[in-house]
Structure 1
Amino acid sequence: MAPSLNRRPGFSRRAQYGLFIGYVLAVGGALIAVALLLLSTLNPPAFAVVRGAFSEVTTPIASGLDWMRRGISSVPGGVSSFFGVRSENARLKAELEANRTLVDRARVVSQDNRRLRAMLKLRDRVANPVVAARLVYATGSSTRRFATLNAGSWQGVRVGQPVRGPDGLIGRVIEVSPNTARVLLILDPESIVPVRRIKDGLPAIAAGRGDGMIEIRSAGAAQVLFEPGDGFVTSGTGGIFPPNIAVAIVTARARDIARAQATVSPDTLDYALVQQSFFPEASGIRAREAAPQ
């Protein structure tokens, strides 16, 4: 059978309309191209206006397509950058942790350096130092308050000698062995230190309370008013403690008996300075009499 001469694309109207529109677009495009060619040849200024209008229309579309192209092309780089940033972040965190450890060590060394410098200045300032020793132990929770020094009779430490830090009085030596010494702290209830008020020289007694505080009692006059901030130093009475060593500061207003804070806490000290007694002979007798049995 001979093939049909009908070349129509089937009986689908959609296919027929598509073919027709394609022909129209092709013919229209050819006509527009011819018109533009003639316009560019015969009237270049008018062609420039038309070209500018087309540029205004196509530029935003081209920019959008270019942005999409660049965005899609940057996806692999972004993924690799993400994993690179994660690894870099982990490395920086590890480095920061190592640096934090070094900073903490440097702070500890700096604090120790400041304390040692303060102790050296104190030793140079005090006229009769015996030895600078480490406080290896101090009771902080018991009602009895003692401390241990890593220096003893072989280093010149004797019973009755006062022990102080850069900021004030710590206590006095009550027991001595060849390389260690036991110190009765001023916070202990058995500790009695003659003191005077800085602002007017009022004589008083500083006694430990056993709870980390000190009790200031008037030594003479009755109805004495103590004000917060009143500072007390050793008076030199009794022959054990040299005068003018800081002891305590009153924390609340009171009459005759006031609660005070010690100017130095043995728990925060690494080193202490042992001094000669103010009057060695008298202080030795009193120290032996006052030493606990």
Structure 2
Amino acid sequence: MVRPAHRRPGQSRKAQTSLFVAYVIAVTGAVAGLLLAILSVADPVGFAALRVASHEVTAPIARGTRSVIGSISGIDDAVSAYVGAGSQNRRLRAELADARRQIVATSALQEENRQLKALLQLQEADKRGIANGYLLTSTSTSSKRIALLSIGRNVGVGPGQPVRGADGLIGRVLTSGPSVSQVLLLTDVDNIVPVRRARDGLPALSSGRGNGDLDVRTLNIANNPFKPGDILVTSGTGGLYPPNIPVAIVVRRTNEGALARPLADPAKVDTVAVLRPYTPDTIEAASTAAAASAPAQ
């Protein structure tokens, strides 16, 4: 026989028990609520204590729920940070590259300012200067060492005038045009400069090797007193180059003298000063003019 589709609760012991329990819970809840309402009116202090006690009982549950929610939020933040790490990394790399470019530009400006300040002090101390200019180009691979200067006859530059930078002697003017000039560098094989050792005045001759270095020979061939680290300056002998301009530093001794390296590198020095050729007459005239212009003591 087919069971009916819908059966009444009374036909099942289990259903009857469930229904009875539900009724008991509902009645108990209603009675408890009524008692709490009566207690809140009749004894507010006791009701408050009961409420505090209920909060103490439910506090651990609240703390646990808060911890779970915090953990879920932390997981969400970690996932968001992981997803955005790629774009953030690219942005930081771009900022780092920009900062490096700024550091390089600042370093270049600081070096340029140092050279300009040194040249300004040079011009203030050296009254033989004619004009200041820039080395536009310089040969570094050819045995003929020539540089192009940015000034020419328009400011009084002519052949034979010494050229120096803030660190030392560069060379001399070879030819001059209307607005540019050619400078025969110190390292050219045809450029011979009378020098002396700075610490004791030992005379010598410096000549270019065509490869960026200098050969230094003493006037006394039998004596070779040079040592690495010796500083050489112009002696003024024979005119043209004024005395006491730094020229080179000795690198090592050789059979005929010493190998030296120029103190002023044309590839690194931009600003230079063109000087009047040195002669005893011009120095005496300059000294006389300076003494005449000085105030009387």
Question: Structure 2 length normalisation: TM-score?
Answer: 0.70
Residue 114 of structure 1: how far off its partner (Å): 1.6
Q: 1:135 to 1:62 in 2, by over 3 A?
A: same
Aligned to 2:246: 246
Equivalence map 1:106-145=2 (5 Å):
106-145=106-145
- What per-residue deviation string (whole Å, max 9, x for no partner) do you get for residues 81-126 of structure 1? 3334544443333333333333322222222222111111111111
3-state SS of the aligned residue for 1:220? coil
- What per-residue deviation string (whole Å, max 9, x for no partner) do you get for residues 136-195 of structure 1? 110001111111101111211111110001111110111111111111111011110001
The 8 Å contact of residues 225 and 254 in structure 1, kept in 2 or not, is answered as: no
Letter in 2 for 1:249: I
Aligned to 1:269: 269
Aligned to 1:204: 204
Q: 1:194 to 1:73 in 2, by over 3 A?
A: closer
Q: 1:79 to 1:177 in 2, by over 3 A?
A: same
Residue 221 of structure 1: how far off its partner (Å): 5.2
C-alpha separation in 2, matches of 1:95 and 1:267:
32
Equivalence map 1:1-293=2 (5 Å):
70-220=70-220, 222-254=222-254, 256-279=256-279
C-alpha separation in 2, matches of 1:61 and 1:88:
39
Identity %: 41
C-alpha separation in 1, matches of 2:279 and 2:234:
14
Q: 1:193 to 1:237 in 2, by over 3 A?
A: same
3-state SS of the aligned residue for 2:267? helix
- What per-residue deviation string (whole Å, max 9, x for no partner) do you get for residues 14-47 of structure 1? xxxxxxxxxxxxxxxxxxxxxxxxxxxxxxxxxx
Letter in 2 for 1:218: T
Aligned to 2:287: none
Letter in 1 for 2:157: V
Letter in 1 for 2:251: T
C-alpha separation in 1, matches of 2:157 and 2:73:
82
Residue 209 of structure 1: how far off its partner (Å): 0.6
Letter in 1 for 2:129: P
C-alpha separation in 2, matches of 1:175 and 1:214:
23
The 8 Å contact of residues 225 and 256 in structure 1, kept in 2 or not, is answered as: no
Aligned to 2:46: none
Q: Structure 2: which 5+ runs fail to align?
A: 4-58, 283-297
C-alpha separation in 1, matches of 2:185 and 2:67:
79
The 8 Å contact of residues 215 and 258 in structure 1, kept in 2 or not, is answered as: yes
Question: Structure 1 length normalisation: TM-score?
Answer: 0.71
Letter in 1 for 2:107: R
C-alpha separation in 2, matches of 1:82 and 1:157:
67
Residue 68 of structure 1: how far off its partner (Å): 5.1
- What per-residue deviation string (whole Å, max 9, x for no partner) do you get for residues 180-234 of structure 1? 1111111011110001111221110000011110000012352222111111111
C-alpha separation in 2, matches of 1:150 and 1:200:
37
Q: RMSD value over aligned CA atoms? A: 4.7
Of 59-68 and 174-183, the range deviating more from structure 2: 59-68
Letter in 2 for 1:135: L
Residue 71 of structure 1: how far off its partner (Å): 2.5
Residue 80 of structure 1: how far off its partner (Å): 2.5
